[in-house]
Amino acid sequence: MNRFRSLGIKDTIVFFGSARIKSRREAKKWYQALKAKYGKKRSLSSGEKRNLEDAATALAMSRYYEEAVELSGMLTRWSKRLSQHNRFVVCSGGGPGIMEAANKGAYLAGGKSLGLNISLPFEQFANAYISRDLNFDFHYFFMRKFWFVYLAKALIMFPGGFGTLDELMEVLTLLQTNKIKKRITVVLYGSAYWRDTINFGRMVDFGVISQSDLQLFTYADSPEETFKYLTKELRRNYPVETEVR
């Protein structure tokens, strides 16, 4: 906490999402390499077909990396225009994939960003775009989650796996049970992914959550849509001084 105070970090916008999602450039390079490798073959083995399908999927999913970069940049530029400095700073889990994209967008926009990293046997390493002195390493997930939520005024959930689902469900549970007293705006980015992955409507039908629980989050499908919604909610929930034009 002392380091956040000394650097003037008051609150954050947290990006969650898969560490496995590649940038467009990286995914395209992989896909084209396989196409070139398999292109002269008359038939492909099941393993080769799977490799090609995986590369094609990675290329399609790379849109989320690029859109996370764009959205992070938009939010960072907006934050920098506020007369209250270091408000709503972009924060990620500090690793690759969507986390890297979030830090990269803030970096390209000339702003600060945090990385709350975790020691794992695979996937996780600190990306190159985290601001100096704002790269934190955690051993325990529960402490990392605490700091994600403690500083957050908004959460953007990009497509992800077990870790992203864990973070989403914990935050929704805390909001549902009113354990989080402050207002946190939650956006599920990529409605097709999230509606396919979690059928919240059927959970209501089965009576395990309430209809009102669906108001704990919203869906969004573009950086522009998300930016407009988030900035409106943040201005309403946490009024800041006039923006500097």
Confidence of residue 122 (pLDDT cuts 50, 70, 90): low
| Residue 30 within any structural domain of the chain | no
**What's the mean per-residue pLDDT of the chain?**
91
pLDDT band at 39 (very low <50, low <70, confident <90, very high): confident
CA distances from 223 to 95, 156, 177 (A): 21, 11, 30
Q: Can you give the residue range of the structural domain that contains 149?
A: 2-21+63-236
pLDDT at 240 over 90: no
Q: 139 in a domain, yes or no? A: yes
What pLDDT was estimated at residue 14? Answer: 97
Give domain status of residue 206, yes or no: yes
Higher pLDDT, 2 or 237: 237
Is residue 44 assigned to a domain? no
Q: In CATH, what number is assigned to the domain containing residue 149?
A: 3.40.50.450
Residue 177, Cβ neighbours under 10 Å: how many? 8
Residue-wise pLDDT tens digits, 189-200: 999 999 999 999
The 89-92 sheet, strands edge to edge: 135-138, 113-118, 89-92, 12-16, 152-157, 185-189, 218-220
With CA atoms as reference, report the closest residue to 137 among 109, 165, 161, 117: 117
Q: Judge whether 243 lies within some domain.
A: no
How many domains does the chain contain in total?
Answer: 1
52 domain residue, yes or no = no
How many other CB atoms sit within 10 Å of the CB of residue 68? Answer: 30
Residue 243 has a pLDDT of: 57
> Residue 86: is its pLDDT beyond 90?
no
| pLDDT score of 124 | 57
User: How far apart (Å, rounded) are the C-alpha atoms in residues 101 and 40?
Assistant: 35
Q: Which two tokens stand for residue 56?
A: 């094609």
Residue 245 included in any domain: no
Nearest-angstrom CA–CA distance, 90 and 112: 7
Task: Flag whether 56 is in a domain.
Answer: no
In tens, the pLDDT along 135-176 reads: 777 777 777 888 789 899 999 999 999 999 999 999 999 999
